[in-house]
Each structure stands twice: as C-alpha cells, then as structure tokens.
Amino acid sequence: MTEAQLQLARNGVVIGKQRGEPETVILAELAAQATESTFRNLANPAVPDSLNYSSDGLGYDGDSVGPHQMRASVWGSVGIATLMNPVYQINWFYDQADRIPGRDHMAPADLAQAIEVARVNAYAGQLDLARSLYSTFAGIIPAPMSTTQAGQPASGCGSNGAGALLPGTTSDFGAAIIAAAEKWIGTPYIWGGGGQNGPTGGGFDCSGLTLYALYQASGGRLRLPHFTQAQQDDPAGTSIPFEQRQPGDLIFFTAPGESTSHHVAIYYGRDQQGQDLVLHAPQSGQTVTIAPLWNGDRLDLRRYSIPADPRTSEVGKSL
C-alpha cells in the first residue's frame, strides 16, 4: 500500500476510535474502503467538478466519487468540495452505521453491505486486510485529538491535502486524455512503441503514449506525430505558462543546453501533499506509471485542442 492508501486506512481507524465506534464497525468501514476504492480518494470524469480536486486517481462507477464511492446525484447536496474530502466520507460511513438498529451485533461485511448497498456483497473478502490494518493503527491516540461522542464527526489524522482544490480547472478533454492513458498503467516501456490504437511491440514509449491518449480522447481527430519535439511543435498545441497547468496538458522536458525535448509526460494533478504528478512512460526497464514531477530540465507545457470535425464543417457549408 502507498502512503496515501495507508493514510486513508489510518483515518478509518482513528476517526472510528474518536467517535467511540466498536471494533466491528471500524472493521466494516475498512472493508468498505478496501472494496469500494482500494483506499483511494477517486475523482470521476462523470462528475467533472470532482476533477478539480486532489485525488488518487479516477473511478468510473456511475457518478461515484471518493474512498466510499458516494454517488454525487444522491449525496451531492453538501457540495463537491465536501464530497471529495475523505475525512467527510469516513464520517459519513460511521453516521450511516449509527442509524442501523443492532449494528453492533452485525458481521462487519453485512454492515458494510447495508451501508454501501452494493450489487454484490464482496466485503468479506477484505476482512483479513481490514483486521491487519486495524491491528496496525488501533494503538494510535494522538494527543491533540479529543474523543467525540458516538455519532459526532471527527477529524482523525487530517487529510494531508486530499480533496484539496487543484490549481486551475480540468477540462473534459483533459480528463479524457488522462483516462485514456491511465488504463495502460503497468504496461512496459518499449522504445518506439505505441500508436493510435494502443501499445505496439508490447508497450509504449513516452510520445507513443501521448499520441495514443490524445487520439483516443479526441475521437480520432487529433493525430500527433511520434516524436517529442514534433508533438511540442504541432500547431494543435498552445503554449501554457507552468502556473496555469491543468490535468491533461503535456509537459515536454529539454535538458540544459539542448534545443529539442527528449521526453514528454501528461500532467496528472497534485497528490495529497500538493506535489505535482505526471503520467508517463519513463524509460527502458520501467512501465507506464504516475510519478512526482522532477526538476532539472526546462519544462514546456502545451494544451491541445480538438480539430473541428470536417463532416460537421461540410454540413454547415451545405446549409
């Protein structure tokens, strides 16, 4: 588990203990997080406003967001900023548990199912992990945290920036670029690999991944060349100052003293600590991944627009 995942699990335990919840209820919360989101605060392209907030990735289950995959159409009256706050979602789970008669005598998996109302009760499969995490964090009693009455919201260990508003906004096209590339995480880096329809030769190189993502996100209307500097110079791209970066922008890396870029990555957003992240195919021996943005090279950002559909243009002329 990553530190971000452990932070969510830690908050699940600590918030439950602050609220005075019994162990079985805390186990239910941990099993629910593990099943619903694998302990990730997920945004969702179907809820565009969620893409403006720091997340651990994208989910695609209807209009569900966050670690407990709360549906925006059902629970969104609190506002997307609150809904994307994982501490709020953990408290939400315990609020729901507190309303269920006899919950203290329910099996954790059944309690999780009663709250999440999943199509299939899969929570029992995560109970071993839930028990392990509970054992790891049950002894944490930070001095600044006061115990609340059962049923009252608690702050836990804080969110460390999870769900924080990202700089700028995320366009639908930017979100689609990320979604297209993200599904290939774990695919090997292959020099010269990647095309408009997916990996070639068993993988992607950096520009192969970006040309694929933009082609797919644009419905086949944006066709970038397979070379970083050529992508950077393509007329479909607009130069963007770094402080105006948005998820889905491409970042080109040029070594000091060089005139052409040697690498390209997709700007992904920020993590819980506010660190800028990129989604890219790094180098031989590695795989497509999400990684912190590094320093040392000159960074040039490009934001691309989708060319007009020629069929639409022709229809317009005929009218």
In tens, the pLDDT along 141-173 reads 654 455 555 555 677 766 566 666 655 556 888
CA 154, CA 212: separation in Å to the nearest integer? 44
Mean residue pLDDT of the chain comes to 88
Strands (E), the chain: 64-65, 70-71, 237-240, 250-254, 263-270, 276-280, 289-292, 298-304
CATH number assigned to the domain comprising residue 228: 3.90.1720.10
Could you tell me which residues come within 8 angstroms of residue 283 by beta carbon, excluding any fewer than 6 positions away? 189
In tens, the pLDDT along 23-73 reads 999 999 999 999 999 999 999 989 988 888 878 888 889 999 999 999 999
On whether both 111 and 178 belong to a single domain, the answer is: no
On whether both 92 and 46 belong to a single domain, the answer is: yes
In tens, the pLDDT along 270-285 reads 765 677 889 999 999 9
What's the pLDDT score for residue 51? 84
Q: Which amino acid is at 79?
A: G
Tokens 């130069």 belong to residue: 239
**Residue 107 covered by a domain:** yes
CA 44, CA 41: separation in Å to the nearest integer? 10
CA 161, CA 146: separation in Å to the nearest integer? 21
Q: Are 210 and 279 in contact (CB under 8 A)?
A: no
> Helix-strand-coil percent breakdown of the chain, rounded to 5?
40, 15, 45
Tokens 């009256």 belong to residue: 77
Q: What is the average pLDDT across 174-193?
A: 92
Number of domains in the chain: 2
**Residue 156 covered by a domain:** no
Look up residue 231 and give its two tokens.
């992508």
Q: Are 181 and 264 in contact (CB under 8 A)?
A: no
Look up residue 207 and give its two tokens.
């520009």
Q: For the chain, what percent of residues have pLDDT higher than 90?
A: 66
Domain enclosing residue 12, as ranges: 3-137
Comparing C-alpha atoms, which of 6, 94, 10 is closest to residue 56?
6
On whether both 77 and 181 belong to a single domain, the answer is: no
On whether both 92 and 205 belong to a single domain, the answer is: no
Q: Which amino acid is at 248?
A: G
Q: Supply φ then ψ for residue 107, to 5 degrees.
A: -65, 140
Of the three residues 83, 116, 137, the one that is the final residue of a domain is 137
Q: What is the average pLDDT across 229-242?
A: 94
**Residue 272 covered by a domain:** yes
On whether both 127 and 181 belong to a single domain, the answer is: no
Instruction: Look up the pTM and report it.
Output: 0.55
What's the pLDDT score for residue 314? 44
On whether both 119 and 15 belong to a single domain, the answer is: yes
Q: Which burial class, exposed, middle or buried, applies to 122 when counting CB atoms under 10 A from its CB (0-12, 13-18, 19+)?
A: middle
